[in-house]
Structure 1
Amino acid sequence: MSVSAVVTGIGVMAGDGEGAEAHWKAVLDGRSWIQPLRRYDASRYSARLAGQIAGFEAAAVLPSRLVPQTDRVTRLALVAADEALADAGAAHRGYDDFETGVVTSNASGGWEFTHTEMNKLWRQSPDRVSVYEAFAWFYAANTGQISIRHGLRGAGGVLVADQAGGLDAIGQARRSLRQGARLVVTGGLDSSLDPWGWLSHVSGGEVSTAEDPAAAYLPFDAAARGSVPGEGGALLVLERGDAGRAAHQYGLVAGYAATFDPPPGSGRPGTLARALRLALADAGVTPAQVDVVFADGAGIPARDREEARVLAEVFGPGGVPVTVPKAGVGRLLAGAGPLDVVTALLAVRDGVIPPTPHVRTVPGDYGIDLVRAPRRAELDVAVVLARGRGGFNSALVITR
């Protein structure tokens, strides 16, 4: 008998950093946190807008011993994990430590921490470099620190797949439940907006150079000219269906699939449609049963057009409402998919499809029904899509 994966807790670090419910309200209001970089002088860069978390002070919410040994992204992850576990009431479930685990995704590691320590190495001396540099930079730091903080000693892991990695982490957590785990903290976050990290974003050639925050990241818009990097993401608590009855349930992770595109120039088509169809089959639902799609929405015309073609191919032209609420926070790399999953769960709970902010004109030949204002609807099945640079495609199906 298959084991169902129930979402019993959610934690969000995005936008104003005030948690899942506050973020959900802001999403429905169409708020945006895309603004000029404010942590340093970014005037010399070609792009200067980013989706930034406002007002986050790690020292106010984390033990003082953790702050000097962690990068900003790990601090965000620790706070999101605290929120998700408290929301799930996991401390009262009585699980053995080895029945619980952590699987996260991080696409960029601890940029800011390493940037600071390498500056010490170059400008001062090797003995001024923090001993915590040995691990604070690493992709697995979030998983490790959450595991240590909460005593989650079972199955653990970290996945790196750019924008698609966060959904892959949730898919892996679901496998862990099927292999005997009782509770898994999963999802993803990223934060790489320091000068080193920002240079890596800009050098990719896909970041919008717009000066107006309302015109910078426009997924599926005729005026789209690039994406806007952001920071943050979400973590979820997944439990086995039999145990999850003791807690409130946001929904089920009913289906998941991932594919990898062939190399450019091969002449072979991309595989996003295959990932979508495999996820639907895994969930046991048909395209006609899907009520909403949370699209990847790259904000890059060629990629938007390709994704729109896939949606029209699988669901029919205009066959399902499509939304990209992360247009208000930016492209969050590993954090994007999990944040969309949380938004999808709350959309199903409240019966409302959140809007795609800023978008005004969708080309008619895209053949998609892009939601640009909150839309009331009975929602039972939601699909979340994520695509990463290098050919990663992931699809996740959420059901009531």
Structure 2
Amino acid sequence: MTLTKKQISNMINPNISFRFQISDSYTISFDTYASVYKFDDLERIVKRNFNYWKSLSEEESNTFFTLWKDLNDKVNSVRNYFSNAETLEINEVNSYLYNTLTCWIEEQDSENKVYIISLECPIDEDKEFCKIKDFVSFYMEQTNDDLVSAVGTYINIYKIPYNAGNSLINPTPHSFYPALYIMRQYFSNIGENISDFESNIVIPISNRLKELQSSADEQHEEITAFVENKHNEIQKQFDDKVHELNEFQNTMEDWKDSKEKKINDLEETYKNKLKLEAPEQLWRDRAEEHQKSATYWSKRLILASVALIIASAWFIIVLHNYSLGNLKEAPFISRSFILVSVISFFIYVVRVLIKIVLSNHHLATEYRQKAALTRFYQSLTYEGTDIDKDERLIIMNALFSRVDTGLVKVDGSNDNDALLALLSKNIK
């Protein structure tokens, strides 16, 4: 965004000033050293003087118009440079003014500079400029020949009235008419008429008021546009922040929902742990007990098998020797019958021991599976897996169903089924 006039003034006014250096030949009461201006004032002064001399004549013979036109073009160039700049660095501004406007500079200190604009022309900042204007109007009514010299002669005679005699005898218009105008003013007892008052007082004041009003309107429009731009920027930033806050709020709500779900899952996990902690520990203890029992009975199976083999061999030998004399008295008892009976007994005892060992291994495995299933169910609730009522009933049935030892045949209904039915009623 380009800079406004007010921003430009705020940036360059503290460090840069201007003053006019005009020859005494073209001023009556103008203090060139006391009259120091800021750039906005310089722009208005140049524009006023340019418009005045333009209103008289735009021909090249009007040297005053040419001088003010050249200066006005330079000032407009500087204004365009200021207006189109994104930022104004004071060193770059000074360099541009030096190359474009004037190279005459007074350095008050290392930062503040006064640019001197030299002109060979009257200026309306002169306190007696209204007298110069009156003479110019009078002279233009008579002739427009060599206006520059005529103005110079008038100012010289105004400052030194006795020079009017030498000019009166000079037949050239630029010498004669100034002297005639001064003599008429000097010897006339008639004060300024209404038209003079209007041209010298009313019209300049009216023009100045119009200029101030135009400047005020321009500044008002500039300030209005600046305020609207800033309002739009602030509104855009506000909308962006509102959007960010909405996104942040949505993020916080999602985070809140996620954490609430996590807390609910933890609560559910804790509740399940409280419910299943005792059964899980019991199943682990039972698994350990049955594993130890399986190991114990495995050792006893080995010892019993060896002992039975030895005892059977010894028993068979003793029975064989004993039966040599007695079998004759009991012919219905054969040797093979006795041998088969001993072996059958041996096999029966070994089979019973094997069943006990396998039953303990089976029970230990079942209880470990129940403990693992309990832990897996708790992990599912911890992860937030949605488990409905039917699925929980299946899990509870698997956890609390009766474990078959494999030694005794049982029917399907028992106390555990009643307990399972009671649990199913409490599942939510």
TM-score (norm 1): 0.20
More helix as a share of residues: 2
Who wins on radius of gyration, i.e. which is larger?
2
TM-score (normalised: structure 2): 0.19
**Which structure shows the higher strand fraction?**
1
